[in-house]
Chain A
Amino acid sequence: MKTPRPVIQVSGCRKTYKSTVAVDDVSFEVFDGEIFGLIGPNGAGKTTTMECVQGLRTPDRGNISVLGLDPFRDVYALQDRIGAQLQQAQLQKRIKVWEAMHLWAALYRRKASDGDRLLEQLGLADKRGAWFMTLSGGQKQRLFIALALINDPEVVFLDELTTGLDPQARRTIWELVRDIRHRGKTVFLTTHLMEEAERLCDRVAIIDQGRIIDMDTPEGLVRRHCPERSVVLKTDDDHAGERFRGVPGVTSVAATNGRLTIHGAGEDLVMEVIRCLSEERIRVTDFRTVLPTLEDVFLRLTGHSIRD
């Protein structure tokens, strides 16, 4: 593996709006070619952080460097090399899809990507002549992705990309984001959807009330903060429950209408349970493992659910 090169470096960033501290002492790095996610509830400071990095806001304190540039001083040079999708942004109601692509292509000094091919790849080819206002939520987001890619940027910023989309549109967008990474670009995204972060991001930083609480790969965070896991199985054997109590790693066993939930911790728990099943010849009709998710990590770290 090549040594990762940081393309975004943020250290000690602080931003206040009047008396509210939106972001406080935020530091992180985003490496070349990865999908990095800033995750946290609404109002945690995700968008503020991202907009400081993009040069749309000036932090009160702290240093930010993107592609070796200062986002505040070199904002136009930076804008030329990055692509952005902003939260709650809109276009002119009656601008046509191709006109927006054509306009955006004229705004950058870099040679533009082939707009029609981008539309094709994003599944918007048949909407080329449609007014912006007639597009569905998912189509609008796909157009914003196309606009973010028009200058063949080195870093792509995606702010709450799938908020308000239905699950199917969301999955399509996730595929598209993975494609962006496959083209060798770095992706910096924010989301309050833990599932999205888990499925998309190589690394995530959890932010709450303006501060970064922890940062790692999604699996790394789960392993560190929520090592417990459970096995749920269904069996007709009334005495099965007792036989698991001695299995290494098991902390408790609960039975509810024919379903056993075996709680424990450690990587080996599932294997130990399976070994016990086979040695004791317990007949099971269903078997599944329940692993903690980023959602659980968030709850544990902040003491509150991300949806509050």
Chain B
Amino acid sequence: MLRGLLRLTWIEIKVFMREPLGAIGSIVMPVLLYVLFARLGRALSPQGRFTASSFFHVNVPVIVAILIAINTVLSLIAIISIYREGGILKRLRATPLRPWTILTAHVLVKLLLTAITLALMLLAGRRYFAAGLHPPVISFSIALIITTWSILSIGFLIASVVPTARFAQPVGAVVLYPMFVLSGLFIPREVLPPWLSHLPLSYAVSLLEGIWTGDPWSAHVGDVVALVIVFAVCTALSAKLFRWE
């Protein structure tokens, strides 16, 4: 069935690239946004005199990375619900394809997209990083893939529970964006109630921030475990709740 999975994945990539604004919306926009932020950051702190510089050097990459992940998840939610409403999932299920092969293909497409966007972002941003700062690109990419994978399972859960395409994406946004705002990136964790630090995105931010600033993986085992638990719980729930039509 691997042949089926690979071919389906490849076709889904092609179909996605043909979407109007598909590639631009999910790849070019985040990169442009990042470059814009980075330029703004450099203009504000020519010699790194302002504390603002750390915001732009540390937080902006993490913010943009999380935005990429959220973007990815929202587009997955939309695709799953459109495919369900249009009977595409049903048609695919009436073949020897295993149901999870179909969903895995979509996850693969989204992870690949995330990786490409991130790579472009890092390439474009190289000239804006402070001298002497060598972000661990590979570790950061792996951290982002883990994060995206985990949030994708939240997306699946939403796509399983919300029946129509019209509501699925707004519901996804309503769940994910507040979680993002409360993740500790914008408001210091100390002023938030402690239970908020257990939001899935808080672990994601902690992981990405730490890896970007050079922490070893051993310092973030807890974050990774939390993200894997989120994945396991959401996947198990959506396996129970998922509807093909």
Contacts and interface: CB of A to CB of B under 8 A. Distances in A.
Interface in B1-52: 3-4, 7-8, 11-12, 14-15, 18-19
A234 interface: no
A154 interface: no
Contacts of A191: none
Contacts of A107: 4, 95-97
Contacts of A109: 96
A86 B19 contact: no
B75 to A, nearest CB: 14
A196 interface: no
A99 B11 contact: yes
A94 B91 CA distance: 16
Interface size class of B (residues with CB under 8 A): 20 to 34
Interface in B89-103: 90-91, 93-98
Contacts of B87: 86, 88-90
Contact of A90 (B3, B19, B86, B96): B86
A103 interface: yes
B11 A91 contact: no
A80 interface: yes
A54 B94 CA distance: 8
Nearest to A105: B7
A168 interface: no
A92 interface: yes
A88 B12 CA distance: 21
Interface string A76-95: 10011000101011111111
Contacts of B241: none
A254 interface: no
Interface size class of A (residues with CB under 8 A): 20 to 34
A84 B96 CA distance: 11
B78 to A, nearest CB: 13
Nearest to B97: A107
Interface in A245-286: none
Given A90-B86, A94-B15, A108 B96 contact: yes
A56 B94 contact: yes
A104 to B, nearest CB: 7
Contacts of B93: 56
A209 B208 CA distance: 59
Contact of B15 (A86, A89, A92): A92
Nearest to B101: A107
Contacts of B11: 92, 95, 99, 103
A108 B95 CA distance: 8
Interface in A75-133: 76, 79-80, 84, 86, 88-95, 99, 102-104, 106-109, 131
A151 B19 CA distance: 30
Nearest to B86: A90
Contacts of A76: 96, 98
Interface in B57-99: 83, 86-88, 90-91, 93-98
A54 B97 CA distance: 14
A87 to B, nearest CB: 8
A99 B14 contact: yes
B15 A106 contact: no
Contacts of A84: 94
Task: Count chain A CB atoms within 10 A of each CB in B15, B19, B88, B95 and give the residue with the most.
Answer: B95
Nearest to A99: B11
Nearest to B94: A84
Nearest to B1: A107
Contacts of B94: 54, 56, 79, 84, 86, 89
A84 B97 CA distance: 14
A274 B88 CA distance: 57
Contacts of B18: 94, 131
Contacts of A95: 11, 15
Contacts of B96: 76, 79-80, 107-109
A131 B7 CA distance: 17
Nearest to A87: B87
Nearest to A78: B96
28 contacts: A56-B93, A56-B94, A79-B94, A79-B96, A86-B94, A88-B87, A89-B91, A89-B94, A90-B86, A90-B87, A90-B91, A92-B11, A92-B12, A92-B83, A92-B88, A94-B18, A95-B11, A95-B15, A99-B11, A99-B14, A102-B7, A103-B11, A106-B3, A106-B8, A107-B4, A107-B95, A107-B96, A108-B96
Interface of B: 3-4, 7-8, 11-12, 14-15, 18-19, 83, 86-88, 90-91, 93-98
